Amino acid sequence: MAGAQSGAQFFQQVFGGSWITQGIWVAAELGIADLLSDGPRSAADLAEQTHTHRDSLYRVLRALAGVGVFAQDAEDRFSLTPLSDSLRTNGSLSQRPFGIMMGAEFHQAWGELLHNVRTGEPGFQKRFGQPFFEYMTERPHRHSVYDAAMGAFGLTETQAVLDAYDFGAYRTVVDVGGGSGVFLTALLSRYPEVRGTLFDLPAVADRARAAAPPESGLNGRLRVEGGDFFASVPPGADVYVMQHIIHDWQDPEAETILRNCWSAMTPGSRVLLVEIVIPPADTPSFGKWLDLMMLLVNGRERTEEEYRRLFSAAGLQLTGVIPTDSDVSIIEGVQAE
């Protein structure tokens, strides 16, 4: 009986997790944390500001307050907590874009996981009728939310990556698929002798230029270039970095990206992938669950041996897997001899 009870408690917590995600999504989409920046407000006031149903909104906020996302006082007013402060649009490490992304398109795609398992067809494509990146490219507003979410997601691991790897030994870095430039800006800020190129799709590059403060205090060391990494990448850099890029693709597409890096490299250049490396057997890993999300969009997380084979197919030699103080590792490669 004790085992059955603990099993019931476990599944109750697990199933409730998806409900919390949806509640956070509602609050993120409506900008509730922004509206609470100046102090506590009632659900009625918030409903008027967001053009929503007062009782329904109250019940969502009450539930979120029960898990610490908001605070609820004796007068039924809601206020920010450290958790909801991170849902403010301009908050430090804002999680609002990630909350929107996880609760909207991705939540719907998760509902197609069984179809994905039965057929091999990506759940996202089944739900929305087109591949993930095609869907995003045709919807610039949603793509910008995705870029911001990935920037915040990556920022939590950026310092760990910079602590684990000495980029000061190089002079030029290309951040391939670098999105809004969060990682590259942090790298250049730490290493004042390094110059960097942020390389991504033209529309993404345009958004990065528009969002970046003038020069970002980097004295002209950061340039932004638009292009398609399936065609080519900027040549001649010392280091080509890809943070959560290769995991977006199956092996044939990933090999194409890596081979284009190979073509652009010079003797002594490095390719660095910032990815979660799947551990063996039943070792617990966040990456094993992230891999299921990638399954939905036709990507995949990989083991060290799978990365070794992928590098070899692209003409590269895997020279090391460097752990960091976060979930990700740095997978290093050079041109094979």
11 exposure class (CB count in 10 Å sphere: 0-12, 13-18, 19+): exposed
Q: What are phi and psi of 18, to 5 degrees?
A: -70, -30
Taking the CA atoms of residue 261, residue 267, residue 273 and residue 279 in that order, the dihedral angle to the nearest 10 degrees is: 120
42 vs 28: CA distance, rounded Å: 17
CA distances from 235 to 19, 75, 232, 333 (A): 47, 62, 8, 16
Q: How many CB atoms lie within 10 A of CB 310?
A: 20
82 vs 76: CA distance, rounded Å: 19
271 vs 211: CA distance, rounded Å: 27
Distance in Å from the first CA to the final CA of the chain: 62
Whether 247 is a known active-site residue: answer yes
* Selected catalytic residue, list 53, 107, 244, 247: 247
* Active centre residues (catalytic): 247
